[in-house]
Chain A
């Protein structure tokens, strides 16, 4: 059974204080790892897909990296508008495109 564990559960940062969010996973065969952002009362919004170990992707202050066991979402000089819940999900090589999600990391950035 695929499993995704995200840590920490919650993270409070000061504006400008860089940090990393962790996503550890076990999957029978990894087809891809996804990062989503979810704002309160809204649906998850796609951020990145990573396909293989060593891959990195960037978008504004966010950078996602992938190893064979975990992924990190690095946030550089965060702003209050980066406050949200960040979800990690894996897609295995099975026929169903089911995403297995972690429980999410709630990030709060104080001005």
Chain B
């Protein structure tokens, strides 16, 4: 089954404790992206990757890092999480940059206390 998977689905952590949210897709997509979704703000892009070893900032990149060492994986790293990073995070992928529909993962609900 073609899908985007994320782990963990739920995470509660404390301020300053480094964490990684994994994202993997099995559709051989070139383009991958991370979004966060907050009430009243909608979905906003954090980082994106056009292909392996090519990443760039989206609209809200502060406090996040990403890497793209393999085509299928695009982990999101929070080196020192803060409470304002409490949010619902979605990974998405698409065939390539351009006018193709993006497929979203199931989401990771992160709470930072």
Q: Are B106 and A42 in contact (CB under 8 A)?
A: yes
* B31: min CB distance to chain A, Å: 6
Question: Complex Cα distance A41/B109, Å?
Answer: 9
Q: Are B102 and A99 in contact (CB under 8 A)?
A: yes
**Which residues of chain A are near B43, meaning CB under 8 Å?**
44, 87, 89, 99, 101
Per-residue contact bits, chain B 88-113, to A (CB 8 Å; 1 contact, 0 not): 00101010011111111111000000
- Contact A46 to B103, CB < 8 A, known contacts A95-B97, A98-B33, A103-B42: yes
Number of chain A interface residues as a range: 20 to 34
Question: Complex Cα distance A103/B37, Å?
Answer: 9
- Contact A96 to B104, CB < 8 A, known contacts A31-B99, A43-B90, A103-B42: no
**Which residues of chain B are near A65, meaning CB under 8 Å?**
none
B73-97 contacts to A, CB under 8 A, are 90, 92, 94, 97
- Interface assignment of B41: CB less than 8 Å from any CB of chain A: yes
Question: Complex Cα distance A104/B99, Å?
Answer: 21
* Nearest residue, chain B, Cβ from A103: B42
**Which residues of chain B are near A49, meaning CB under 8 Å?**
99, 101
- Interface assignment of B56: CB less than 8 Å from any CB of chain A: yes
Q: Are B106 and A43 in contact (CB under 8 A)?
A: yes
**Which residues of chain A are near B101, meaning CB under 8 Å?**
34, 46, 49
**Which residues of chain B are near A42, meaning CB under 8 Å?**
106-107
Per-residue contact bits, chain A 10-42, to B (CB 8 Å; 1 contact, 0 not): 000000000000000000000110101000011
**Which residues of chain A are near B92, meaning CB under 8 Å?**
43
**Which residues of chain B are near A43, meaning CB under 8 Å?**
4, 90, 92, 104-107
- Interface assignment of A58: CB less than 8 Å from any CB of chain B: no
- Interface assignment of B53: CB less than 8 Å from any CB of chain A: no
The interface of chain B, by Cβ under 8 A from chain A, is 4, 31, 33, 40-45, 48, 56, 58-59, 90, 92, 94, 97-107
The interface of chain A, by Cβ under 8 A from chain B, is 31-32, 34, 36, 41-46, 49, 51, 87, 89, 91, 95-99, 101-104
Shortest beta-carbon contacts, A-B, top 7: A43-B104, A101-B43, A103-B42, A46-B101, A97-B97, A32-B99, A101-B42
